[in-house]
Amino acid sequence: MIYMERVAIIGVGQTKYEHGKQGNFAELVFEATSKALQDAGITRDDIDNVVTVSSDFWDGRTISSMAVSDASGAFDRDITTVEGDGTFGALYGMMRILSGSFGVTIVASHHKGSESNMNIITNTAFDPLVERKLGLDAVSSAAMQARRYMSKYGLSEEQFALVSVKNHGNAMRNPLAFLPMEITVEDVMNSRKVADPLKVLDCSPVTDGACTLILAAERQAKKLTRPAKCVWMKGVGHCSDAYRLGDRDLADTRALKDAAKRAYAMAGIDDPRRQIDVAEVYDAFSYMEPLWLEGLGICDDGKGCEYTERGYFEFGGKLPVNVSGGRLSSNPVQVAGLAGMAECVLQLRGEAEERQLDGAKVALVHGINGMCGQSHCVWILGK
Amino acid sequence: MPDWKDEVEEIIHQGKISVPYTWTVGSTLSRFYCELRDSGKIWGNRCPSCNKVFVPPKVKCIYCYKDLNDWVMLPGTGTLETYTVVRYEEPMLHPRKAPFVFGAVKMDGADTAMVHLIGDVDPEEVKVGMRVEAVLEEEREGNILDIKHFRPIG
C-alpha cells in the first residue's frame, strides 16, 4: 500500500437553494465562499488554489470560471475549472493537493438554472451528428431509462413515487432546501405527466444556488482548524460508460459499480451495506435513487425499490439516504454533488441540526455527469 | 439575508446566444449517411475482435478499441427496448408536436440500440418488446432524420 497524505474538508458554505435567486453568479459564490471560510475559521490569505465548477453553456458565457474568480477568492491565485458535477470538482481539488504543488484549496460551484432553458441546454449534450437533431434532452432520455429499469425488473411507477415522497419530506428538516413538501404517492401519481413514466413530482426542480468546500492536507488542516471541523476524504472512485445511449443498457449500472468498488477499496470498506451510516445519492429523477443504490452495492440489482418500500432509506431507517431532501427537492445541477458532500460533512460533524442522525461516522456521496448517469463519482467521507 | 429589492430596483437583462456551426461528419458517419440518403439502407459495422455490431457505426469498438472496417447492411427492423411518451412542448427542439414517442430500438443484426422517434401508432398503444421497422423519408438529406421514424410491424 502506497502512503498517501490524508486530505480533509475543513469548511463548507452554501446559499439557500431557490428558483429565481436574486443574486448574480458571482454574488452567489461570494456568499457560499465567505461562509465556507468562516466555517473553517480561516481567511482568504490561507488559500493557495481554487477549483471552480460551472458550465459555460448554462452560464451563457465561455470560460465561465473567470466570471467568479474574484468571488471564489482566486484573485492573485491559481484558478482551474471542472465542467460537470461538484463531486468531480472535489476530486480534482484533492488531486491537486496530493500532487504536492498546491496547498489549501477552495472548490466552489454555482448554478442558476432559472436564467436559461434546461431542455435546450441539455439537448446540446447530445451528438450534433446523430441524436441532437431528434430533440432529446435530459428529461426525455431519463424517461427512457426509467422505463427500461421498470421493464427489466418489473417495477412500478408507485414504487418510484415513494422516493419523491421520502426526499421531499426529508427537505422539511433542511432550511436550505428549495421544495420541502409533505406529499403522498397519490400526489406524485396525479401530478402532471411530463415524459412517461415520469410526472412532474418524479423530476427535480430547476434550482439556483452555490456551494463551496475548503480542502486541506492533514498537516495544514491540523494547523489551521479544530479537529471537530475536519472530515476526511477517505475514498474516491470514478468511472464512465459509453456516450451514446443506444450503446448502453440503460438499467445496467456497470460504470457506477466500478466507481464504487474503487472508492470502497481506497476507504477500506469491504461491506458497504453495514459500514455506511448515511448517503447522499444522485436523485435528479425519483427512479435514479434505487437504481444507483443497486450500483453502489447497497442492495442487489432490481431490489432498490423493495428496500425503499421497507423504509430502509428513510430518515429513521437502516441507511438514511438523501436526508438533505436530495436533488428532488433542490437540483442546482453542477452544485448538486457538492451540496451532497456539504450535507455529509455536517452530518459527520454532528452539525446537521434538526436532521442530525445519531452516530453517523461514515458517509457516502454520489454524483453523476452526462445523460442517464454516463459517468459517476463516489466519495467516502469519515471522521 | 435582508431583501435588497426593498431598497433597490432589480434590473433584469435579456440575452440570447446564437452561434452558427459547421459540423464535419467524418469518414464513418459520412458513409452511413450517404448509404441512407442514396440507397435507403441502414448500415452498421462489426468489431473484428468481439464481433459486436454498432449502429450508427463507429470508428472503433468501444470495448476492444479495434478499427471497425467490416460493414454490415441491416434489415432496418428491430425490437423496442424502451420508450417514452413526451408530453411537454419544446418547439425549438422537438421535430413533432407533443404527445409523441421517443424509443430505443435494438436493431436486428446489431448489438446496439438506435434512439429515434416512434410513429404511425397511438402513443398510448406503444409497448416495450414491440417489433418495429424504419420508415424512411422520401426526400433524404444525409442526416438521422432521413429515417422518419420507426413504426410497428403488422
Q: What is the pLDDT of residues A319-347, one digit of tens each?
A: 999 999 999 999 999 999 999 999 999 99
Cα A114 to Cα A94: distance, rounded to the nearest angstrom: 31
How far apart are the C-alpha atoms of A27 and A37, rounded to whole Å? 15
Least confident piece of the model among A40-44, A251-255, B6-10: B6-10
Contact B83 A147 (CB under 8 A): yes
Q: Is residue B69 a contact partner of residue B57, using CB atoms and an 8 Å limit?
A: no
Can you give the pLDDT of all 154 residues of chain B as single tens digits? 567 778 888 899 999 999 999 999 999 999 999 999 999 999 999 999 999 999 999 999 999 999 999 999 999 999 999 999 999 999 999 999 999 999 999 999 999 999 999 999 999 999 999 999 999 999 999 999 999 999 999 7
Confidence grade of residue A171 (pLDDT, cut at 50, 70, 90): very high
**What are phi and psi for residue A337, nearest 5 degrees?**
-70, -30
State how far the Cα of B44 lies from the Cα of A246, in Å rounded to an integer.
13
Contact between A147 and B117 using a beta-carbon 8 Å cutoff = no
Q: How confident is the model at residue A348 (pLDDT cuts 50, 70, 90)?
A: very high
Nearest to B116 among A120, A134, A195 (CB): A134
Interface touch B54/A247, C-beta < 8 Å: yes
Choose, out of B12, B68, B79, B86, the residue to mutate when testing the contact with A (most A CBs < 10 Å).
Answer: B86
Q: pLDDT value at position A78?
A: 87
**Mean pLDDT, chain A, whole residue set:** 96
Assess if CATH 3.40.47.10 describes domain A7-117+207-228.
yes
C-alpha cell at A134: 431528434
Query: Omega before B48 cis (within 30°)?
Result: no
Task: Give me the residue spans of the domains in chain A.
Answer: 7-117+207-228
A206 CB neighbours in chain B (<8 A) are: none
Q: Taking the model in full, what pTM does it have?
A: 0.97
pLDDT exceeds cutoff 90 at A2: no
Contact B4 A22 (CB under 8 A): yes
3-state secondary structure chain B: CCCHHHCCCCCCCCCCCCCCCCCCCCHHHHHHHHHHHHHCCEEEEECCCCCCEECCCCCECCCCCCECCEEEEECCEEEEEEEEEECCCCCCCCCCCCCEEEEEEEECCCCCEEEEEECCCCHHHCCCCCEEEEEECCCCCCCHHHEEEEEECC
Average pLDDT over residues A265-277: 97
Beta-carbon separation of A144 and B145 below 8 A: no
Interface confidence, given as ipTM, is: 0.96
CA–CA distances in Å: residue B33 to residues B26, B27, B91, B143: 11, 10, 25, 6
B91: chain A residues, CB-CB within 8 Å: none
When comparing pLDDT for B4 and A370, which is higher?
Answer: A370
pLDDT of residue A274: 96
How many angstroms separate the CA atoms of A134 and A140, rounded?
11
CA distance B115 to chain A (A): 6
Q: What is the pLDDT of residue B2?
A: 61
Helix, strand or coil, per DSSP, at residue A49:
strand
C-alpha distance from A275 to closest chain B C-alpha (Å): 33
Q: Angle, to 10 degrees, between the axis of helix A288-295 and the axis of helix A157-170?
A: 90
Q: Do A120 and B88 touch (CB under 8 A)?
A: no
Given this model, what pLDDT does residue B71 score? 98
Say yes or no to pLDDT of A285 above 80: yes
Instruction: Enter the DSSP assignment of A269.
Output: -
What are the tens digits of pLDDT across the range A12-27? 999 999 999 989 999 9
Chain B residues near residue A146 by CB distance under 8 angstroms: 84
Segment among A78-82, A202-206, A337-341, B44-48 with least mean pLDDT: A78-82
pLDDT of A32 strictly over 90 = yes
Cβ of residue B10 closer than 8 Å to a chain A Cβ: yes
Picking from A22, A137, A196, the nearest residue to B5 by CB comes out as A22
Asked if B114's CB is within 8 angstroms of A246's CB, the reply is: yes
The verdict on a CB contact (< 8 Å) between B102 and A145 is: no
Residue B28 sits at the chain A interface (C-beta within 8 Å): no
Tell me how far apart the alpha carbons of residues A89 and A109 are, in angstroms, rounded to a whole number: 8
Which of chain B's residues have a Cβ under 8 Å away from the Cβ of A130? Answer: 29, 56, 144
Q: Say which DSSP state A350 is in.
A: T
Bridge partner list, B107: B78
Which triple of cell numbers denotes residue A284? 435528479
Nearest-CA residue of chain A relative to B6? Answer: A22
CA distance A77 to A109: 17
Residue A1 confidence (pLDDT) above 50: no
Q: Which of B3, B56, B93 sits opposite A135 (nearest CB)?
A: B93
Minimal Cα distance from B82: which residue of A? Answer: A148
Mutate to test the interface with A, among B9, B42, B115 (most CBs of A within 10 A): B115
Residues in B touching A250 (Cβ below 8 Å): 82, 104
